[in-house]
Amino acid sequence: MAILLAIALIWRPWRGFSLETRGIQYSADVSSGLRVMLKLEALHVTLRVENQESSNEIADLFEDSFLFIREIEPYDPATKLVTFEIGRITNLERVENIVDNRGEVISMKENVSDVTRDNVIGRLQARIDPYGIFGARSKPVGNNSALFEIAELEPERVRERLSRQGRFEAFIERTLVWRGDDIGEPIGASWYESEGAYVYRISFEISEEGGKNFEKVSMGKDNYPLPIYLDRPDDAIVVFDRRILEELPIGVTYDENERLFRYSGDTIGFELFDPPAVPTLTDSLPTETLQFLHEQRGVKTRVLLLGENKDFSENVIENIGTIYPIQNVPRITEPSTEPVDDWIRRAYGLASALRIPDETAGKEVSAWEILGEGRSEEDARAKAKDLEAILSQKLPVSTSIESEVEIEPRLGGEFMGEAIRAGLMALLGVGAFIYIRYRRFDVAAAMMGTMLADLIITLGIASLFGLRIGLPEIGGLIVVVGMGVDHQIIMTDEVLRGALPHAQRVSLKGRIGRVYPIIFAAAATTIAAMALLAYIGFGAMRGFALITIAGVLLAVILTRPVYARVLSLIMAREKPEITE
Amino acid sequence: MDITWYVKRLRPRQMVAISLALAAILAASILIRWRTQGTIVPLGPEFTSGTLIRVGGLDNSPDADAIALAAEELLATDFEVRVTVDRATGKFGLDMETQKDLSDNEEAQIEEMLSRQFDIDGSFSAEWAGPAITSIQGEKAWQAMIGAFVAIAVVAMIASKNIFASGAIVLCIGLNILGAIGGMAIFSVPLSIASVAGMLMLLGYSIDTNILLTTKVLKRFGGEARDRIAEAMRTGLTMTSAVLIALFATNILITAPELHQLSMVFVFGLLVNVINTWFLNAGMLLWHVERRRVREYYVSE
């Protein structure tokens, strides 16, 4: 039964007839994967300041603006220099505006410290391979890049998880209620269908300080929306094609004077107040828009253009491009065209806007949730899992994807074919050896059958839990099968030992029974060692340990007793007297 | 030929001494390598920094194996070359990784070689690439290995109910790992994910023969301890031989160098395990059993 179940898990016949083993997933060792080069965006800013107090003041201002800072070179009273690492790419004007007359900017260059880089790589690794079983690999490249290699994760998921910083902000009206430090790791993610829509929810804890702040800010704000933003582009100006205003649904309006989108309807609404949004025509940039863009230099550092460059004339792109770098936010058109308000929300990083219930306003809260919608159940599930991964590993710096390529497997495309042939040869080789050792075909056949069963059952369990098979996991499989052979040899030797001069007269059942303590002790020791390896270890170690634990445990419970039974039947046929 | 002859002839101290002598030789190899080359074992690509060369914008899929060979001949250093496909443009590319920090001149030589020999003139970039295993992960790996040893000791103690026996098992397994590392030092097998996997496999395997030996010696009471050890050894050697045959078959048919690294470490460790189990552990258990019997004799007197 177990073997049939395992075969079903490996083959997955319910997905349609095919000879492929669809249940087995491979890591980048044996399957082609995705290689993503990621740029880590941070700046090292060196300032000359009068004293430590000025340095501290600037540090606080940098933290308010850029959220993450580290002192790379502490303030030196002799040279009066201090160097900060800030977690955003920005321009000199903005930095000078913040520093103001507290100091002088000496240099500014894109760079990431080793500590920050290792921290970010570790967090991103945890996002794409949370349990260390997908065989994802990563390494730092150059001064401020990192290379990630993942097999078989959908490219959209990879992009989401690697390129989102996870900078969390929640507002009531225009007052900041919570930031990243105020929220803990997600405590649950779920997705379901509700009234024709595919909804997802992510719950998270709020810190005590965050709870108190909510109590203060939400006083008298019953039923007010609480917009939650992830990676709000507060250093940008949103530029959009004026024609999209015709597609705005009821309840969503654009305020030309305030330069913002407003969500109202017949309840208390909220505004997307920052970044500001300005319209353009597709063939020319209005004067007011151009003027606004000029005025915001030193405050804003880029333009978020809703659409592709090709949707606008060269003239418009050039005019904007001479003032700010342009980042495009194209509209999603597959599987269907994205509604305009969803497009706008996505550009702003608006994740959710749940209303504050009457009984919660003005009280301390300890948890909250994000509620969003997907285009399908699968989309809702994917978004929920992505957000959960992003919120559980918030990054101190922003990232951007430099390149994304498919790469051939590390072990070469021929590896799996070679491995299968080698596995068969090993099976036959061991079978032949066992035959020579015991001079018994039935024993050799029984052992080979049990080896095969161990392998199939272990692969079945790996398939069930989505454990990806790579080189370390293949090592684990060899251990499982090899331990199986070892235990069967112990059992066979004990049973066939027969007429040794000092052999005690013990029945067959007794002899097999005496072997079990050895097998259990060996299995328990292996499982204990592997459990610790799985817990503390990472990546390759964890995958190896998990597959060994699963295989050894199941083999001891399932295939050892079966082999013992088969051996009993063989011996009972030959020497009925020893079965008593 | 009775391969268990020494069990009946040698004293426990002699059996232990043979194993410790082997351990000393292996430890010396490690030390010599460390003094002469600065590392205990060569470090594989996951543990060292090097250079990543990326070529893109190619219309045709390049021959990765031929390029790797040419690059290795040119610069006398190993290269891992893999073909890539840009998802956005559909163009082919190359990722070439080496453990050497290439100079600007060497990078230029590679670029020239690609153009001249393979007609590859796409976008070319070369950057420093750090180790895939960070120092934090390296520390975690050591903690995991040490933790695994502790777990083995605890479970072996519970299973055997004998501190001496469980200590012998842990010592044996520790010397097996030393043996595996010694083999890596002697044969210059790099420390990599593959060789770490080999050491982990050794950890799992070593336990079986040691538990078998311990159970037979301490928990069976027919005949002399030496006979029981000899009997256990015949079973144990059958077990080890079966594994070696499987590994041999695998190595003939699989060309991946990573699997050779895994096998080298594992096979060497297994061979050392044979000595450690059937000389060191057996000798220690024999001494323990014979001492206990002498004590019981005197007590009964």
Does residue B217 belong to the interface with chain A, where contact is any CB pair within 8 Å? no
Across A334-348, A469-483, A496-510, B119-133, least confident range: A496-510
Beta strands, E only, A152-268: 168-172, 175-179, 183-194, 197-206, 225-230, 236-241, 252-255, 260-263
- B 241-280 residues inside an 8 A Cβ radius of A: 241-243, 245-250, 252-256, 258-259, 262
Tell me, what's the pLDDT at A28?
58
Does A358 score more than 60 pLDDT?
yes
3-class secondary structure per residue, chain B: CCCCHHHHHCCHHHHHHHHHHHHHHHHHHHHHHHHHHCCCCCECCCCCCEEEEEEEEECCCCCHHHHHHHHHHHHCCCCEEEEEEECCCCCEEEEEEECCCCCHHHHHHHHHHHHHHHCCCCEEEEEEECCCCCHHHHHHHHHHHHHHHHHHHHHHHHHHCCHHHHHHHHHHHHHHHHHHHHHHHHHCCCECHHHHHHHHHHHHHHHHHHHHHHHHHHHCCCCCHHHHHHHHHHHHHHHHHHHHHHHHHHHHHCCCHHHHHHHHHHHHHHHHHHHHHHHHHHHHHHHHHHHHHHHHHHHHC
Backbone phi, psi, residue A139, to 5°: -155, 150
Closest chain A residue by Cα to residue B210? A522
Q: How far is A519 from A486, CA to CA, in rounded Å? A: 9
Across A143-157, A383-397, A507-521, least confident range: A507-521
For residues A119-130, average pLDDT? 87
Which of B97, B129, B161 delimits the end of a domain?
Answer: B129
Q: How far is A245 from A254, CA to CA, in rounded Å? A: 7
Please tell me whether residue A550 adopts helix, strand or coil conformation.
helix
Contact residues, chain B, for A522 at CB < 8 Å: 207-208, 211-212
pLDDT band at A577 (very low <50, low <70, confident <90, very high): low
- Which of B250 and A353 is assigned the larger pLDDT? A353
CA nearest to B262, candidates A137, A537, A479, A414: A479
> What tens digit of pLDDT does each residue of B117-158 get?
999 988 899 999 988 876 666 777 777 778 877 888 888 888
Contact criterion met (CB < 8 Å) for B149 and A407: no
Does A420 score more than 50 pLDDT?
yes
Shortest distance between the Cα of A25 and any Cα of chain B, in A, equals 19
Does residue B68 belong to the interface with chain A, where contact is any CB pair within 8 Å? no
Does residue B23 belong to the interface with chain A, where contact is any CB pair within 8 Å? no
CATH architecture of A2-25+410-579: Up-down Bundle (1.20)
Tell me, what's the pLDDT at A499?
43
pLDDT band at A266 (very low <50, low <70, confident <90, very high): low
Contact residues, chain B, for A535 at CB < 8 Å: 144, 147
Cα three-residue angle A58-A60-A66, rounded to 5 degrees: 95
For residues A195-223, average pLDDT? 91
Q: In total, how many domains does chain B have?
A: 2
Q: How far is A167 from A181, CA to CA, in rounded Å? A: 10
Contact residues, chain B, for A412 at CB < 8 Å: 255-256
Contact residues, chain A, for B56 at CB < 8 Å: 403, 405
Q: Count of A–B CB contacts within 8 Å?
A: 241
Across A489-498, A539-548, A562-571, least confident range: A539-548
For residues A173-189, average pLDDT? 88
For residues A511-525, average pLDDT? 79
Which of B74, B94, B129 delimits the end of a domain?
Answer: B129
Supply the pTM of this predicted model.
0.77
Question: CB neighbours of B73 closer than 8 A, spacing ≥ 6?
Answer: none
For residues A310-316, average pLDDT? 93
Pairing of strands A33-41, A398-407: antiparallel
> What tens digit of pLDDT does each residue of A458-484 get?
888 877 777 767 766 776 777 777 778
Shortest distance between the Cα of A341 and any Cα of chain B, in A, equals 27
CA nearest to A358, candidates A223, A505, A453, A543: A223
Identify whether residues B39 and B173 lie together within a single domain.
yes
Q: How far is A472 from A356, CA to CA, in rounded Å? A: 50
Cα three-residue angle A375-A376-A382, rounded to 5 degrees: 90
Sign of CA dihedral A564, A566, A567, A568: positive
Positions of chain B with pLDDT lower than 50, given as ranges = 301
Identify whether residues B125 and B274 lie together within a single domain.
no
For residues A358-384, average pLDDT? 89
Nearest to B246 among A410, A430, A472 (CB): A430
Domain that holds residue B82: 50-129
> What tens digit of pLDDT does each residue of A220-255 get?
998 899 999 999 999 999 999 999 999 999 889 999
Tell how far CA A47 is from the center of its chain.
Answer: 37
Shortest distance between the Cα of A520 and any Cα of chain B, in A, equals 9
Tell me, what's the pLDDT at B92?
92
- Which of A400 and B5 is assigned the larger pLDDT? A400
Contact criterion met (CB < 8 Å) for B137 and A544: no
Tell me, what's the pLDDT at A25?
60
Domain span(s) for CATH 3.30.70.1150 in chain A = 33-153
Tell me, what's the pLDDT at A501?
47
Sheet holding A197-206, edge to edge: A183-194, A197-206, A367-374
Does A580 score more than 50 pLDDT?
no
Contact criterion met (CB < 8 Å) for A418 and B253: yes
Domain span(s) for CATH 1.20.1640.10 in chain A = 2-25+410-579
Contact residues, chain B, for A29 at CB < 8 Å: 258
Identify whether residues B139 and B157 lie together within a single domain.
yes
Tell me, what's the pLDDT at B157?
83
Identify whether residues B200 and B272 lie together within a single domain.
yes
Does A78 score more than 50 pLDDT?
yes
Identify whether residues B101 and B23 lie together within a single domain.
no
CATH code (residue B125): 3.30.70.260
Q: How far is A316 from A293, CA to CA, in rounded Å? A: 13
Contact residues, chain B, for A498 at CB < 8 Å: none
Identify whether residues B147 and B266 lie together within a single domain.
yes
- B 158-177 residues inside an 8 A Cβ radius of A: 158-160
Which of B67, B94, B129 delimits the end of a domain?
Answer: B129
Whether ipTM exceeds 0.85 = no
Identify whether residues B90 and B28 lie together within a single domain.
no
- Which of A134 and A429 is assigned the larger pLDDT? A429
Tell me, what's the pLDDT at A11?
58
Shortest distance between the Cα of B239 and any Cα of chain A, in A, equals 5
For residues A5-24, average pLDDT? 58
Identify whether residues B141 and B125 lie together within a single domain.
no
Identify whether residues B38 and B119 lie together within a single domain.
no
For residues A274-283, average pLDDT? 94
Closest chain A residue by Cα to residue B150? A529
Task: Identify the CATH class of A33-153.
Answer: alpha beta
Identify whether residues B155 and B181 lie together within a single domain.
yes
Tell me, what's the pLDDT at A519?
83
Tell me, what's the pLDDT at A33?
82
